[in-house]
């Protein structure tokens, strides 16, 4: 398979790129600044089937160039993993518009832009998999992560709609929903502390608690990586892959209800005679 992955400088993106490379797939791993992605460069040195391209999901020119380079080199794209994302923590009332737009520009519009760049090739070849790296916050919500969760909720909707619209073209869409694994995400969270407001103390307390949960979270990213690989290779992948065993009692009934609604929409979508 030919696999294009965004956000590969560290964390889930890097681990996923390595996993596909170990399988023998041709991997195009991308990052906003590959020259500063030392771990990714090391993976490139270890795997001849892993190449690197610059791709900033908020830069349409870099998206076009990375997709074109992938197609020129491999003549097709079988799997797109939309992994790049950013987070912000703060009371929703205090998250200003530029910050909110920056979160949506990366997590939502950026993922859509890369997907739009790849889909014409997948529709032409009549096959493909699009996988979105979401988060548990894309299904559940929590205080002080409103901007981040809102972007991930939007991504959950986008993935579900794409799955409805793209099945007639042989393209399947899935999302993966990790909980708090130990990645660089904790250190990369932007903080809107709300100093001098009534939100300051609870925001700081939540930030410290979340940072500790991420720091002490699982360092083995394989459950998330395995879900991505399954979504790319299963003959009938589910729409949603939750990776949060401690929330199974809460998420189980919720996901069953959402899946039932999705199957209903599949049965009513023009061009789809039955769920494929």
Is the separation of the CB atoms in 80 and 128 below 8 Å?
A: yes
Take residue 178 and report the two structure tokens written for it: 């990790």
Is the separation of the CB atoms in 235 and 216 below 8 Å?
A: no
Cα(3)–Cα(30) distance, rounded to whole angstroms?
11
φ and ψ of 108, to 5 deg: -110, -65
H-helix or E-strand spanning residue 174: strand 171-178
Helices and strands (H and E) in the chain: how many: 10, 9
Burial 21-36 (b: 16+ CB within 10 A, else e): beeebbbbbbbbebee
Cα(39)–Cα(41) distance, rounded to whole angstroms?
5
Q: Which of 150, 156, 210, 155 is nearest to 183 (CA)?
A: 210
Cα(271)–Cα(161) distance, rounded to whole angstroms?
14
Instruction: Check if 148 is active-site.
Output: yes
Strand partners, 131: 81, 174
Strand partners, 255: none
- Give me the active site residues, please: 148
């Amino acid at each position: 398979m030919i696999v294009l992955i965004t956000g590969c400088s560290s964390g889930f993106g890097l681990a996923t790129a390595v996993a596909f490379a170990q399988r023998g797939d041709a991997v195009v791993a991308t990052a906003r600044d590959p020259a500063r992605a030392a771990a990714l460069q090391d993976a490139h040195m270890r795997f001849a089937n892993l190449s690197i391209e610059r791709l900033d999901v908020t830069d349409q020119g870099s998206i076009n160039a990375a997709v074109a380079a992938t197609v020129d080199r491999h003549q097709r794209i079988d799997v797109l993993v939309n992994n790049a994302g950013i987070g912000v923590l703060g009371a929703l009332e205090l998250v200003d518009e530029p910050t909110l737009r920056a979160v949506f520009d990366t997590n939502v519009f950026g993922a859509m832009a890369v997907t739009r760049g790849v889909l014409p090739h997948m529709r032409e070849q009549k096959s493909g998999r699009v996988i979105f790296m979401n988060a548990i916050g894309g299904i559940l919500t929590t205080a002080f992560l409103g901007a981040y969760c809102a972007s991930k909720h939007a991504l959950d909707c986008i993935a579900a709609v794409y799955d409805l619209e793209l099945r007639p073209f042989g393209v399947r869409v899935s999302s993966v929903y990790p909980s708090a694994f130990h990645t660089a995400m904790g250190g990369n969270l932007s903080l809107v502390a709300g100093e001098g407001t009534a939100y300051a103390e609870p925001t700081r307390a939540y930030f410290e608690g979340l940072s500790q949960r991420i720091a002490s979270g699982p360092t083995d990213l394989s459950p998330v990586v395995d879900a991505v690989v399954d979504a790319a290779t299963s003959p009938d992948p589910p729409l949603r892959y939750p990776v949060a065993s401690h929330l199974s009692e809460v998420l189980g009934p919720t996901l069953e209800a959402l899946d039932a609604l999705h199957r209903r929409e599949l049965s009513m979508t023009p061009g789809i005679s039955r769920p494929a």
